[in-house]
Structure 1
Amino acid sequence: MADLSIEFCGIKSVNPFWLASAPPTDKAYNVVRAFEAGWGGVVWKTLGEDPAAVNVSSRYSALYGKNREVIGFNNIELITDRSLEINLQEITQVKQDWPDRVIIVSLMLPCEEKLWADILPLVEATGADGIELNFGCPHGMPERGMGAAVGQVPEYVEMVTRWCKTHSKLPVIVKLTPNITDVRAPARAAKAGGADAVSLINTINSITHLDLDQMVAYPVVGGASTHGGYCGTAVKPIALNMVAEIARDPATAGLPISGIGGIGNWRDAAEFMALGSGCVQVCTAAMLHGFRIVEEMKDGLSRWMDQKGYTRVSDFVGKAVPNTTDWKYLNMNYQVIAQINQDDCIKCGRCYVACEDTSHQSISQLIDAAGVRTYEVIKDECVGCNLCEITCPVQGCITMVPQHTGKPYMNWTQDPRNPRAERPAVAESV
């Protein structure tokens, strides 16, 4: 059976599944229940200076799919609204009671070195395994010069990270904001400041939807609203991309990554790990479905690893990174063509409508004398865009079949159709 234990920037964990800094990790009661359910670690909800932050009511909103499935989740909640003293006491007790589980303490303070120097010894005294610097919160705290206001300025990221490495012996994980043009810049700054790891992504600035009768966005607070932090299933593609960008950046290569963003099952976790995450953090899925989702995550990941022959998580961490590249290096001579399995086709015509109206008109609709419709791919017109496969409601009915072109690998930098293509050197005549 696969071994799910990991070591992340020197911290040993019984499994790679941690709860992210959020409401589920706000107090000892929650964290103990999480550990009882089987989570390998938690990032305690962000601590700050006293007096504690004050939250509003209400705090959450959502973007729904069919049958009220929550696709995206939005929150305007701030960091912990409990005193620093109470949080530190609870962290100390939980760590004593659960020595084999990881407790990372999330911190957010103004950019004043003394404030960081004062709080770090208090956190160390709890027995916590590490600290996470919250440089990502997009609402409420940036107005106070914290959260994303720090994470969006690489110089600040490097400066505060260095303070923490100077005044603490604990591993330092820097949590990055996605509300930035290029996530590699703060990641490089974190590494320059001595960070032991980075975690990402934090939540994305968002407004989910409006009450069109009252003309106010959700969540509504006394007739008004504000932007919040977006998370949940919908942010996973964005998070995967940002994790991959850091994992394949030569300047941050080898920097441990804790992946966050839309992780709700073992497959999501495996994808983050394949793109370089040594562990993963979960929040929204636990809030929507409870702590016991970790049972399926552990079981599913273990079974998949056994099937693939991976004995440890580290066997496949980063395995997809070498296959992730810039567009210009993709093979221009590679070609696929759609193929419709007529035995599985339910004759709905969705592939035909999508291709005919918005793509390349490469699917024909044939109607026989009895009025029976058949859909066939016009191979000479198909560009292999995948739209028909995506719109088809029957999984596996339409597949993209690689074609043998007989042409060698050629990327865009070499393509003669590119006006800036690299030309082979021409020998001088003698």
Structure 2
Amino acid sequence: MADLSINFVGIKAPNPFWLASAPPTDKAYNVIRAFEAGWGGVVWKTLGEDPPAVNVSSRYSAHYGKNREVVGFNNIELITDRSLQINLDEITAVKKAWPDRAVVVSLMLPCEEHQWAGILPKIEATGADGIELNFGCPHGMPERGMGAAVGQVPEYVEMVTRWCKTHTKLPVIVKLTPNITDVRAPARAALAGGADAVSLINTINSITHLDLDRMVAFPAVGNASTHGGYCGSAVKPIALNMVAEIARDPLTAQLPISGIGGISNWKDAAEFIALGAGSVQVCTAAMLHGFRIVEEMKDGLSRWMDEKGYRTIDDFTRKAVPNTTDWKYLDMNYQVIAQIDQDKCIKCGKCFIACEDTSHQAIAKLIDDAGNRTYEVIKQECVGCNLCEITCPVEKCITMVPQDSGKPYMNWPKDPRNPRAELV
């Protein structure tokens, strides 16, 4: 049976599933319930200076799909609103009671070295396994010179990281903001400051929807609202890309990564690990479905690893990174063509409508004498764009079949059709 245990920058855990710094890790009661359910670790909700932050009501909103499925989750909640000492006492007690679980403490303080130097010994005294620097909170803290206000300035990221490495022996994980043009810049800065790892992504600036009668966005605080932090399954594609960008950047390729962003099941976790993550952090899925979801996550990942012959997490960590490249290095001679399985086709016509109206008119609608419809791919018109496969409601009814072009690999810099081709 697969071994799910990890050793992430010296932080050991029985499995890679950690709860992210958020409401689920705000107090000992929650964390203990999480550990009882089987989570491998937690990142304790962000601690700060006293007096603690003051939150508003309400705090959450959502972007819904069909049947009120929560696709994306928005929050305007700040860091912990409990005193520093209460948090420190609870962290101490939890770590003592659960020595085999990872307990990382998230921190956010002003950009003053003495503030960090003062709190770090207190964190060490709790027995915590590491610290995570919250450089990502996009609301309520940037105007105080914290959160995303730090994460968006690589020089600040490097400076504060170096302070922390100076004043603590604990592993330092830098949590990066996605609200930036190029995530590689702060990642490089974190590494330059001595960071042991980075974690990403933090939440994305967002407004989910409005009350058009009151003309106020959600979550509404009286008659006003503000942008919040967006998370949940909708941000997973953005998070995967940013993780991959850091993992394949020559300057940060060896930097350990804790993956965050829309992880809802074992497959999501496996994808993050394959693109560079050594641990994964979950928040929204736990808030929507409860802590017991980790049982399916562990079981699913273990079964998949057994099926693939992966004995440990390390066996497939970063395995997809070499296959992730820039567009210009893709094979210009590779070609796929759509194929419709007529036995599975339900004749809904969605593929035809999508292709006819918005793509390449590569699907024919055929009607026989009895009025029965059939949809067939016009191979000479198909460019292999995948739109028909995506719109089809029946899984594996439409597949993309590779074609033998008889041509060798050729990238865009070498393509004679490129006016700036690097022809030899």
TM-score scaled by length of structure 1: 0.98
Other-structure match for 1:119:
119
Other-structure match for 2:327:
327
Other-structure match for 2:249:
249
For 2:28 and 2:339, the matched residues in 1 are separated by 55
Give the letter aligned to residue 4 of structure 2.
Answer: L
Give the letter aligned to residue 149 of structure 1.
Answer: A
- What does the per-residue CA deviation read over 1:242-289, in whole Å, with 9 as the maximum and x for residues that have no partner? 000000000001110000000010000000000000000000000000
For 2:265 and 2:338, the matched residues in 1 are separated by 30
- Is 1:49 matched with 2:30? no
Give the letter aligned to residue 354 of structure 1.
Answer: A
Other-structure match for 2:385:
385
For 2:181 and 2:296, the matched residues in 1 are separated by 35
- Is 1:23 matched with 2:39? no
Give the letter aligned to residue 162 of structure 1.
Answer: R
TM-score scaled by length of structure 2: 1.00
- Identical positions, percent: 85
Other-structure match for 2:142:
142
* Structure 2: gaps (5+ residues): none
Other-structure match for 2:10:
10
Q: Cα offset for 1:318?
A: 0.2
Other-structure match for 1:58:
58
Other-structure match for 2:260:
260
Q: Cα offset for 1:11?
A: 1.0
Give the letter aligned to residue 68 of structure 2.
Answer: R
Other-structure match for 1:309:
309
- What does the per-residue CA deviation read over 1:118-152, in whole Å, with 9 as the maximum and x for residues that have no partner? 00000000000000000000000001110000000
SS state at 2:337 partner? strand
Other-structure match for 2:68:
68
Other-structure match for 1:419:
419
- What does the per-residue CA deviation read over 1:203-233, in whole Å, with 9 as the maximum and x for residues that have no partner? 0000000000000000000110000000000
- What does the per-residue CA deviation read over 1:354-406, in whole Å, with 9 as the maximum and x for residues that have no partner? 00000000111111111111111110010000000000111111110000000
* Structure 1: gaps (5+ residues): 425-430
- Is 1:35 matched with 2:40? no
Other-structure match for 1:185:
185
Other-structure match for 1:86:
86
Other-structure match for 1:270:
270
Other-structure match for 1:216:
216
Other-structure match for 1:200:
200
Give the letter aligned to residue 343 of structure 1.
Answer: D
SS state at 2:394 partner? coil
Give the letter aligned to residue 11 of structure 2.
Answer: I
For 2:393 and 2:14, the matched residues in 1 are separated by 40
Other-structure match for 1:428:
none
For 1:143 and 1:285, the matched residues in 2 are separated by 29
> What are the within-5 Å matches in structure 2 for residues 97-108 of structure 1?
97-108=97-108
For 1:399 and 1:211, the matched residues in 2 are separated by 41
Give the letter aligned to residue 377 of structure 1.
Answer: V
- What does the per-residue CA deviation read over 1:79-99, in whole Å, with 9 as the maximum and x for residues that have no partner? 000000100000001011111
Q: Cα offset for 1:423?
A: 1.4
SS state at 2:286 partner? helix
Other-structure match for 2:365:
365
Count of paired positions: 424
For 2:74 and 2:103, the matched residues in 1 are separated by 25
- Is 1:236 matched with 2:242? no
For 1:383 and 1:74, the matched residues in 2 are separated by 38
Q: Cα offset for 1:325?
A: 0.2
For 1:201 and 1:231, the matched residues in 2 are separated by 9
SS state at 1:31 partner? helix
SS state at 1:106 partner? strand
For 1:346 and 1:15, the matched residues in 2 are separated by 42
Give the letter aligned to residue 345 of structure 1.
Answer: C
> What are the within-5 Å matches in structure 2 for residues 276-315 of structure 1?
276-315=276-315
SS state at 2:412 partner? coil
Give the letter aligned to residue 26 of structure 1.
Answer: D
SS state at 1:413 partner? helix
For 2:99 and 2:339, the matched residues in 1 are separated by 55
Give the letter aligned to residue 48 of structure 1.
Answer: G
Give the letter aligned to residue 350 of structure 2.
Answer: R
SS state at 1:173 partner? strand
Other-structure match for 2:176:
176
Give the letter aligned to residue 310 of structure 2.
Answer: Y
Other-structure match for 2:403:
403
Give the letter aligned to residue 129 of structure 1.
Answer: D
- What does the per-residue CA deviation read over 1:281-332, in whole Å, with 9 as the maximum and x for residues that have no partner? 0000000000000000000000000000000000000000000000000000
Give the letter aligned to residue 10 of structure 1.
Answer: G
Moved more, 414-423 or 199-208: 414-423
For 1:191 and 1:260, the matched residues in 2 are separated by 19
SS state at 2:399 partner? strand
Give the letter aligned to residue 342 of structure 1.
Answer: Q
Give the letter aligned to residue 84 of structure 1.
Answer: L
For 2:167 and 2:41, the matched residues in 1 are separated by 24
For 2:352 and 2:6, the matched residues in 1 are separated by 48
